């Protein structure tokens, strides 16, 4: 046991100074050597989660010998055998998970003490210098640190009873598991959890004890210190390594998230929410919600009317979306753009020709037209209007009329366009994927599906209580509600959308959509970026109090 390091650890806490440490999950003892060399006050070797075996634990303990760094071992559960073994190896203390009651905490203390004060068995192992320093170690063992982790709502409710237990200097918090027991599995600090942990922290400090937590990043480390947490982990070794690598990759434009199974999610979202968006994404415009009828009206051609809902007129960048109504027997002449255009049929019957290739899309079928490709759209009905949703990869669209003959041929339901030309997505047979609880999406167009595109987009359907996680994009986004009612939350501001109302989410705004009704909600989303990538962040960032840009 390192009594000198333990004494310094406790002296700092007694003076209300923070003690900084590192959570060890990787097997290389070099990591602990680095922590010691950098003067960290403590390390915790995690033998609860992950792949460390007892040999790995031993090597980490050895790496801190004769240093000023306290070495703790987090055991897999409250178990006298596991605690005894960790201490016999030479750990200066134990971290015990999932403590909820005073009786559990008393057992943890008893399992770490020799009789008559406890139940720890005597072993002639490393801690006793293989039996050569037994009396000395028995006396020193009264200084062993016992650190319970409070990682459930039940544990938080019993905080006062836990504080009645002697032999405990510090109590630690596990926000992720705490959130899980509060009904927010997968979140670091779900709604309401941050407040519960802070209230428990106040109770601990009021009783003259100390508490700790793992910081999620450098800003959070400073925030936790100001909140009064004193046993502060800089992070987990693996997470810190990934953070450093991603920071370097970001500098050269190569950053990418890691997904479960070590594969990249089709929308690029992160496997675990970030505590806040990168500062480089700080937005410079507010969100805008435009109801149908309040957009910018343009008569494109006789009997063809475009209502812009997102575009340069409301400060969108590199993106225009809107609703086009084509009167009976009306249509657009052949034309082309120097940007991508996407067309999705909402109602009615239309014919779309692309350089002579004739398509008759069904409801919610999508046609995406690359730059420089001549095309036209007409209403097949003489009397009933047709309605389509359009999106263009520019904030200020223009068109060039084309006076050229094309050989015409009908493209059947299973026809495939020539390589490098338009793309058609048949809604009825398109592949769907999960995007959130009770939520699925279809990708209509992006750079992977049609290389060279400047934008990406698709369709989403939200069942009752379906929703997306809080997230941000590195580009502007348009979301048009084509069926049902949606609630859009942007940094604590709530917007209700229905009947083709469209939200412009500027780059960097933290937001999410959900369906709070009992009927399905459907949307068409378009990104002003070539790939459907999102950065998932802590739900608190989508609240007024957690707004990262305040």
Catalytic residues: 49
The DSSP code for 544 is T
Three-class DSSP category at 42: strand
* Burial of residue 416 (number of CB atoms within 10 Å: 0-12, 13-18, 19+): exposed
Q: How far is CA 348 from the centre of its chain?
A: 39
Closest CA to 337 of 354, 314, 349: 354
Closest CA to 271 of 289, 257, 255: 257
Q: Give the span between the Cα atoms of 441 and 457, in whole angstroms.
A: 10
Q: Give the span between the Cα atoms of 470 and 361, in whole angstroms.
A: 34
Q: How far is CA 32 from the centre of its chain?
A: 29
Residue linked to tokens 């009904």: 183
Name the pairing type of β-strands 304-310 and 296-301.
Answer: antiparallel
Residue 341 CB contacts under 8 Å (≥ 6 apart), including other chains: 368, 369, 375, 390, 391, 392, 393
CB 296 within 8 A of CB 311: yes
Name the pairing type of β-strands 335-336 and 400-401.
Answer: antiparallel
* Burial of residue 229 (number of CB atoms within 10 Å: 0-12, 13-18, 19+): buried
Closest CA to 438 of 515, 542, 534, 539: 515
Kindly report the CA angle at 504 between 500 and 509, in degrees rounded to 5?
Answer: 140
**Beta partners for residue 461, in sequence order:** 440, 522
The DSSP code for 128 is G
Question: What crossing angle do the helices spanning 80-89 and 54-63 adopt, rounded to 10°?
Answer: 40
User: In 75-166, where do the E strands start and end?
Assistant: 93-96, 145-150
Q: Give the span between the Cα atoms of 473 and 273, in whole angstroms.
A: 14
CB 307 within 8 A of CB 465: no
């Amino acid at each position: 046991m390192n009594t000198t390091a333990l004494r310094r650890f406790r002296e700092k806490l007694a003076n209300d100074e923070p003690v900084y440490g590192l959570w060890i999950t990787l097997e290389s003892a070099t990591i602990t050597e680095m922590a010691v060399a950098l003067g960290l006050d403590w390390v915790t070797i995690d033998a609860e989660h992950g792949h460390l075996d007892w040999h790995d634990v031993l090597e980490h303990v050895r790496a801190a010998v004769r240093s000023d760094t306290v070495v703790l071992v987090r055991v897999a559960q409250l178990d006298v055998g596991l605690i005894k073994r960790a201490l016999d190896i030479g750990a200066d203390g134990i971290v015990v998970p999932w403590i909820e009651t005073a009786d559990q905490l008393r057992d943890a203390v008893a399992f770490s003490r020799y009789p008559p004060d406890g139940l720890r068995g005597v072993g002639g192992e490393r801690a006793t210098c293989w039996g050569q320093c037994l009396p000395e170690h028995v006396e020193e063992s009264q200084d062993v640190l016992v650190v319970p982790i409070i990682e459930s709502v039940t544990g938080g409710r019993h905080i006062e009873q836990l504080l009645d237990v002697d032999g405990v200097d510090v109590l630690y918090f596990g926000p992720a598991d705490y959130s899980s027991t509060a009904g927010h599995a997968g979140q670091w600090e779900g709604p309401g959890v941050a407040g519960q942990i802070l209230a428990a922290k106040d109770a601990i400090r009021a009783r003259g004890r100390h508490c700790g937590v793992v910081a999620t990043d450098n800003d959070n480390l400073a925030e936790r210190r100001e909140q009064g947490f004193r046993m502060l982990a800089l992070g987990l070794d693996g997470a810190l390594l990934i953070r450093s690598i991603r920071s370097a990759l970001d500098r050269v434009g190569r950053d990418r998230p890691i997904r479960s199974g070590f594969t990249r999610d089709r929308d690029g979202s992160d496997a675990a929410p970030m505590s806040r968006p990168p500062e480089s994404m700080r937005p410079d415009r507010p969100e805008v919600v435009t109801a149908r009828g309040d957009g910018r009206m343009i008569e494109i051609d006789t009997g063809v009317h475009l209502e812009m809902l997102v575009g340069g007129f409301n400060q969108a960048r590199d993106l225009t979306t809107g609703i086009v109504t084509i009167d009976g027997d009306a249509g657009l002449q052949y034309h082309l753009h120097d940007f991508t255009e996407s067309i999705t049929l909402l109602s009615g019957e239309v014919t779309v020709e692309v350089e002579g290739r004739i398509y008759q899309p069904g409801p919610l079928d999508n046609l995406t037209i690359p730059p420089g490709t001549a095309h036209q759209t007409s209403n097949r009905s003489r009397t009933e209007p047709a309605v389509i949703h359009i999106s263009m990869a520019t904030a200020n669209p223009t068109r060039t009329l084309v006076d050229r003959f094309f050989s015409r041929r009908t493209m059947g339901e299973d026809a495939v366009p020539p390589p490098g030309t338009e793309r058609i997505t048949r809604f009825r047979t398109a592949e769907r994927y999960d995007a959130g609880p009770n939520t699925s999406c279809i990708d209509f167009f992006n750079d992977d599906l049609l290389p060279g595109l400047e934008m990406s987009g698709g369709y989403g359907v939200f069942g009752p209580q379906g929703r997306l996680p809080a997230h941000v994009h590195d580009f502007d986004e348009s979301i048009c509600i084509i069926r049902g009612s949606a609630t859009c939350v942007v940094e604590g501001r709530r917007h209700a959308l229905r009947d083709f109302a469209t939200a412009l989410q500027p780059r960097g705004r933290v937001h999410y959509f959900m369906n709070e009704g009992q009927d399905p909600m459907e949307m068409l989303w378009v990104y002003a970026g070539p790939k459907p990538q999102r950065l998932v962040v802590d739900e608190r960032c989508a609240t007024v109090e957690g707004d990262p840009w305040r």
